[in-house]
Amino acid sequence: MPGFSYMVPVITVVVSMLVLHEQLTKLSALGILLTLAGLVVSEVKITIKKKRALGSSAVK
């Protein structure tokens, strides 16, 4: 799970809402969205690289 460490801020906000009854602010919500967007982009890039590597090794 390479993206788990990127999820720590998201998990922190969610747990603080559940345990400490913190309010979700606009800034926190924006941070969650940006974190998730970055995770998706990085995972897509990794997937594309793996597919290219598999495709090039199958040609050899």
pLDDT, averaged in runs of 10, over the chain (60 residues): 77 96 96 92 77 65
Q: What is the pTM of this model?
A: 0.69
Residues 6+ apart with CB under 8 A from 23: 17
Residue-level pLDDT at 37? 92
Residues 6+ apart with CB under 8 A from 13: 22, 24, 28, 31, 32
Token pair, residue 26, equals: 């606009």
